[in-house]
């Protein structure tokens, strides 16, 4: 038996390379590639010794799928993104939502393999991003003969999958769908929620600024341009956006949680995190709401200024809208999911209150000190920025800018030609 493993070679450092010609983004991507390759090698070594459970699964008798009927269904699931390394299967890690999902589908014999499963996903969320409304479409084994429609006698897909899925990933409901249905292409709208603490933010300024995002705009300055993967069109239509206090009954303080709701047919890479990064600057009174107008005016400002986007942890793909789906819910499944989520909430809530008590005690101790502290309190939302803010604030529109879309297109076109010539040689 051939046990050789094919490992994708990283974008290796070459001592003859002229690194001064690389852009900052290219250098970062090169280092990321090497780090990912190292992690991939570690995972391969870890996989070399199968667990007892895996060995038992491999020894199971083959399942005869030819005797089964197949049904095309939609599955709705939630996952807690901070527990995993992203949604999509990756070469350098097995800790992704898709990895666990397909592991469960194969283990329960609902599919023969991924390649023949007619699988589509609604959204591709990044590392750390959660979802309460992710939807996939897939061909699965059915207990009903072809053409039968008594769904009460169908396999309880959510129940059997949830038994083998981690509590951070669970199936909520399923729906029979037409064979041509695609969770990706038939999605009408996608809605996200982003949670954040009020701190010293001026919420009204943020609301004024957010309303400027409504409608059809070119969002190239409010996303990460993914030109390398062929994305050259950045016009999107924001259908709805609102900023609301999560619990209207609570007395407002720095720890009051707000949530922004944003709805569109489709979003760009890191679009919401970039939007939140700018809204936080406006809420901290470092920028005026009109800066949104400047960023959306790509004719006047074709180059995106450098700024930090907001953290991925508070972001949740909350709802995906479809026409005509008949979601099948099971009371026992819902009871078990609520119980699991309540257990997760209990420990997170306790940790939160424990830390707040520590902060309150330290603030009391600080007030008793005879030395005055004139240091300005940092807004809680500052913790949600990827990079620490500099001591001297530079207005957004006066900062160093990235390459324009046209320059990026030329750059990647040139690189592709170079790669083609190199391979030909």
Short-list 197, 321, 323, 205, CA closest to 263: 321
Indicate the SS3 state at residue 360.
helix
Q: Are 221 and 301 in contact (CB under 8 A)?
A: yes
DSSP secondary structure string for all residues of 234-285: -EEEEEEEEEEES-TTSPP-TT-EEEEEEEES---TTHHHHHHHHHHHHHTT
Non-local CB neighbours of 402 within 8 Å, separated by 6+ positions: 25, 303, 304, 305, 306
Tally of CA atoms within 13 A in the half-sphere of 205 that contains its CB? 19
DSSP secondary structure string for all residues of 140-189: EEESSPTT---GGGS--HHHHHHHHS-TTEEEEEEEE--TT--TTTT--E
355: exposed, middle or buried (Cβ count in 10 Å: 0-12, 13-18, 19+): exposed
Q: Are 338 and 330 in contact (CB under 8 A)?
A: no
Non-local CB neighbours of 56 within 8 Å, separated by 6+ positions: none
Indicate the SS3 state at residue 135.
strand
Non-local CB neighbours of 91 within 8 Å, separated by 6+ positions: 8, 36, 40
Indicate the SS3 state at residue 299.
coil
- Distant-in-sequence contacts of 26-34, Cβ < 8 A, 24+ apart: 34/10
Measured between alpha carbons, how far is 261 from 2 in angstroms, rounded to an integer?
Answer: 52
Residue 226 is a catalytic residue: no
Question: Which of these is catalytic: 18, 95, 126, 178?
Answer: 126
Q: How far is CA 330 from the centre of its chain?
A: 27
Q: Are 258 and 380 in contact (CB under 8 A)?
A: no
Active site residues: 126
């Amino acid at each position: 038996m051939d046990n050789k493993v094919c490992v994708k070679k990283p974008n290796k450092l070459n001592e003859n390379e002229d690194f001064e010609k690389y852009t900052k983004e290219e250098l970062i991507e090169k280092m990321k590639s090497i780090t990912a390759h190292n992690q991939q090698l570690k995972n391969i070594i870890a996989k070399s010794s199968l667990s007892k459970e895996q060995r038992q699964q491999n020894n199971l008798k083959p399942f005869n799928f030819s005797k089964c009927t197949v049904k095309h269904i939609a599955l709705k699931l939630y996952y807690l993104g901070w527990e995993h390394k992203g949604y999509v299967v990756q070469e350098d890690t097995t800790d992704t939502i898709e990895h666990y999902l397909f592991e469960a589908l194969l283990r329960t014999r609902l599919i023969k393999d991924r390649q023949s499963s007619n699988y589509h996903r609604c959204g591709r969320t990044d590392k750390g991003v959660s979802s309460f409304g992710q939807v996939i479409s897939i061909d699965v084994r059915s207990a009903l003969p072809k053409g039968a429609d008594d769904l009460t006698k169908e396999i309880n897909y959510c129940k059997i999958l949830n038994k083998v899925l981690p509590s951070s990933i669970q199936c909520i409901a399923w729906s029979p769908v037409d064979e041509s249905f695609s969770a990706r292409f038939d999605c009408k709208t996608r809605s996200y929620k982003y949670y954040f603490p009020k701190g010293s933010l001026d919420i009204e300024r943020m609301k004024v600024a957010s309303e400027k995002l409504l409608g059809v705009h070119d969002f190239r300055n409010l996303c990460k341009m993914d030109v390398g993967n062929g994305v050259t069109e950045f016009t999107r239509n924001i259908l709805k956006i609102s900023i609301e206090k999560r619990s209207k009954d609570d007395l407002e303080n720095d720890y009051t949680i707000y949530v922004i709701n944003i709805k569109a047919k489709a979003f760009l890479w890191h679009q919401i995190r970039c939007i939140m990064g700018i809204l936080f600057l406006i809420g901290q009174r470092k920028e005026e709401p009109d800066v949104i107008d400047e960023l959306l005016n790509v004719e006047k400002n074709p180059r995106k200024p450098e700024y930090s986007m907001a953290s991925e942890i508070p972001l949740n793909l909350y709802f995906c809208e479809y026409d005509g789906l008949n979601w099948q819910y099971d009371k026992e499944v819902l009871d078990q999911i609520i119980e699991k989520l309540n257990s997760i909430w209990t420990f997170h809530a306790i940790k939160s209150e424990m830390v707040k008590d520590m902060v309150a005690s330290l603030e009391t101790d600080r007030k008793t000190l005879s030395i005055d502290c004139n240091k300005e309190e940092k807004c809680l939302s500052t913790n949600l920025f990827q990079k620490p803010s500099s001591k001297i604030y530079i207005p957004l529109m006066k900062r160093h800018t990235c390459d324009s879309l046209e320059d990026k297109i030329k750059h990647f076109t040139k690189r592709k030609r170079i790669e083609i010539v190199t391979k030909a040689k």
